[in-house]
Structure 1
Amino acid sequence: MTATDDKTIVKEYFNTTGFDRWRRIYGITNDVNKVQLDIRNGHQQTVDTVIGWLQADGNLSEISICDAGCGVGSLSIPLAQAGARVYASDLSEMMVAEAKDKARAELGDLVKNLTLTVQDLETLSDRYHTVICLDVLIHYPQEQVEQMISHLCSLAQTRIILSFAPKTFALSLLKKVGSFFPGASKATRAYLHPASTVIKILEKNGFSVQRQAMTKTRFYFSRLIEATRK
């Protein structure tokens, strides 16, 4: 399967059956099963870690942030609320529409801090102080990851923050037996990436790793890396 095919499948999935599933996971509804609730909690831990890192720097109101693959705005909305200028995008029209509804309801006058667009990672342009891409690289095969991360690096003036499902023996085994990503049938492939590979790509693009974290729940595994320009 080619990268183009993967992207088409992902886009169609998140505009149809996948949208309803992941809206429940990322939302606050009680209409979730134990697995979905576990994934929700894991994703929120990753989001909270990123927000904590940015708040600790004490300059949120002074910087621009690109949230690449924003979903329903789980990260974009609180960052805009904290005063950052956020440019968020997702390839799913339905995800972006949901994010816009949430932003109008939650941000009030601060909605001016958030720009939401339907766009895939490959076509993102402009430059931002910080580029963030959470839980998106799982949709990109290994042979496409260097190109994708390099493109995101080209958008970042100062810092890039990535999260991805790490490729380890244990997680590879879980994925192989079908336990890593729950559900009877899934319309998207899930790709794991070695942390060492991601770090090498960042360094090749002139970045140096500053902070790392790992979120691990029963069904959610995500390695988080922050890197800044050397």
Structure 2
Amino acid sequence: MTALDDKTIVREYFNATGFDRWRRIYGDGEVNKVQLDIRTGHQQTVDTVLEWLQADGNLEGLTICDAGCGVGSLSIPLAQLGAKVSASDISEKMVGEAKERAIATLEQSENPVFTVQDLEALSGKYHTVVCLDVLIHYPQDKAADMIAHLSSLAESRLLLSFAPKTLAYSLLKKIGDFFPGPSKATRAYLHREADVVKILTDNGWTVQRNTLTKTRFYFSRLLEVTR
């Protein structure tokens, strides 16, 4: 399967059954226990990013690219805190939902700026680039190119999260593959932390903060790198 095939599958998934599923997960309505667990884990990752960025004390006016923004779970609070946010997602439906949520929360449509784009099409320069839980859609042989491209957009800092490849998580994924369900994504790629760190190091980055968020059904390694 080529990278283009993966990209097409992801786009179609998040514009169809996947959109309804993840819109509920990233919302505040009633969901099942598994979806609630994933919601909790994802929110913990978002909260950690916000905590780290606020701790630096320079968010006001900071330019931030939220690559793979979903429904705006990170973009909207960043804008509330005064950052200038450019947010994008491969799914037109996700971006539409993000815009609606932003207007409802912020009562304006100028910041964040939302666009429909895949990661490879992103351009420009930003102080900070954030890409949460998107690497799961990239096989290992394509991850390096994606991270290198994100690195070219970031002037000072990159925050990246991914599903870590360990024996336990690989086993959990295999068990989940036996029960795909009609609304699950067809592919999910795990990545060894050492491999991701090497890619980042090769692109001139130094790891500053590192944490693992894990619940019963959500696990995500978050790295902050600077140069």
Displacement after TM superposition at 1:65 (Å) = 0.2
4+ residue segments displaced more than 2 Å: 181-188
Map of 1:85 onto structure 2: 84
Map of 1:21 onto structure 2: 21
2:93 matches 1:128: no
Map of 2:42 onto structure 1: 43
Query: Whole-Å Cα distance in 1 between the matches of residues 13 and 61 of structure 2?
Result: 36
Encode CA deviations 1:179-204: one digit per residue, 9 max, x unaligned: 7x975243430000001111101110
Displacement after TM superposition at 1:113 (Å) = 2.5
**AA at the equivalent of 1:80:** A
Query: Whole-Å Cα distance in 1 between the matches of residues 192 and 215 of structure 2?
Result: 19
SS in 2 for 1:117: strand
Among 200, 217, 220, the residue aligned to 2:218: 220
Query: Whole-Å Cα distance in 2 between the matches of residues 184 and 76 of structure 1?
Result: 30
Matches within 5 A, 1:148-187: 148-178=146-176, 183-185=180-182, 186-187=184-185
The gaps in structure 2 that reach 5 residues or longer are none
Query: Whole-Å Cα distance in 2 between the matches of residues 139 and 3 of structure 1?
Result: 10
Bigger Cα displacement from structure 2, 182-191 vs 157-166:
182-191
SS in 1 for 2:129: strand
Cα–Cα, structure 1 residues 182 and 164, in superposed 2: closer, same or farther, change >3 Å? Answer: farther
Query: Whole-Å Cα distance in 2 between the matches of residues 19 and 175 of structure 1?
Result: 21
What is the root-mean-square deviation of aligned Cα atoms in Å?
1.3
**AA at the equivalent of 1:184:** G
Query: Whole-Å Cα distance in 1 between the matches of residues 101 and 176 of structure 2?
Result: 33
Q: If the length of structure 2 is used for normalisation, what is the TM-score?
A: 0.97
Contact 1:135 1:163 in 2 (8 A): yes
Percent identity over the alignment is: 70
Contact 1:35 1:182 in 2 (8 A): no
Displacement after TM superposition at 1:108 (Å) = 1.9
Cα–Cα, structure 1 residues 129 and 9, in superposed 2: closer, same or farther, change >3 Å? Answer: same
Query: Whole-Å Cα distance in 2 between the matches of residues 73 and 130 of structure 1?
Result: 17
Contact 1:182 1:219 in 2 (8 A): no
The gaps in structure 1 that reach 5 residues or longer are none
2:34 matches 1:9: no
Contact 1:6 1:188 in 2 (8 A): no
